[in-house]
Amino acid sequence: MKAMKILCAGLVAAMMFTGCKAAGNGASDLGSDISSGISDVESGVSSGMSNLESNASSGISDGKSDLSSALSDGNSDNNNSSESAPASGASSEVAAEIHVSPATVDLSSLDGTKQGWGQGVQLDDQNRPISSLQFQEKYGKYDAYFIGNDEKVIYLTFDEGYENGYTATILDTLKEKNVPAVFFVTMDYVKKEPDLVKRMIDEGHAVGNHSDKHVSYPTVSTERCEQETMNLHHYIDENFGYKMTLFRPPMGEFSERVLAQTQQLGYKTMLWSYAYKDWDPKNQMDNTKALEKVNGALHNGAIYLLHAVGSTNNDILGDFIDYARSQGYEFKLFQ
């Protein structure tokens, strides 16, 4: 644009100058004047073009400088971000996925197939049930426990579906031996035996959630599972001022979905690494044979499931505690 203005100005000046010369000096000087005018115009155009090129060059240079500066700033920001990236090289998104909050798990995406738990009979060289170790590795991420850590510790647990007159004596033995235990109770038991529940709490034992109505969790909806768990949870909290944190699924039946939902409700699921047929009060094992079985099942991190409805466990409990201690085992409260 600047060059065009210079060109126009030059032409006008040349024409005016030439006209004046023609009037004063005659036609003979016209050619010379036109030549001079044209020379002036060319000089103006050349000067204008030179200025245009200079300005364009300056603009391009400034543009390059700004772009270079912006890129430099961008690289600087990227370098700063890389300093705060995980040392492992994983992105923050990947790291977040590794540490997913239980509440973010989509329950509908998990396997709902019912599994019935039993520790099986295959043992490793430390007398630990192989299935307990396998399931612990598979489902431990849901705060599910099929066996404890590899240390000489025993965890005693009792299932209390109903009272048959033995729980008070069992509590006496535990108090005498200074051994803690977890008592898994149902709503029916709690309402019928509030004094025993209060004694469990007062004497330092843990009260665990065994559901409201003792239903098979994998066979009902997630809404029903939550009701079964939280109905009892709120009742215990409101009537005993005690917050339960341990859950045992009725009949030992569970699914991956059940374990994940239980975790979302703030519970650890506690299965077991040893149990025997002791739940039928009319078909109790001989005391001597039963004691041999429970003594022979000792292993590191053992979670014992015992039922309090028969006479046998009531009779052998003290002897079992003594024997386990003689073998170097310690009884701890599962938490």
The one catalytic residue in 143, 159, 212, 278 is 159
Q: Are 135 and 146 in contact (CB under 8 A)?
A: yes
Q: Is 205 a catalytic residue?
A: no
Q: Is 73 a catalytic residue?
A: no
- The Cα 73–Cα 69 span in angstroms is 6
Task: From first to last of the 335 residues of the chain, give the pLDDT tens digit.
Answer: 444 444 344 433 434 333 433 334 333 343 344 334 434 434 443 444 344 344 434 443 443 344 333 333 433 333 333 333 333 333 323 223 333 456 678 999 999 999 999 999 999 999 999 999 999 999 999 999 999 999 999 999 999 999 999 999 999 999 999 999 999 999 999 999 999 999 999 999 999 999 999 999 999 999 999 999 999 999 999 999 999 999 999 999 999 999 999 999 999 999 999 999 999 999 999 999 999 999 999 999 999 999 999 999 999 999 999 999 999 999 999 98
From 106, 117, 121, 120, select the one nearest 139 (Cα to Cα).
117
According to the model, what pLDDT value does residue 237 have?
98
**What count of residues does the chain have?**
335
According to the model, what pLDDT value does residue 103 have?
67
The one catalytic residue in 202, 299, 307, 315 is 307
Q: Where are the alpha helices (DSSP H) in the chain?
A: 2-25, 30-83, 92-98, 130-139, 167-177, 187-192, 194-202, 222-240, 256-264, 287-296, 311-326
According to the model, what pLDDT value does residue 104 have?
74
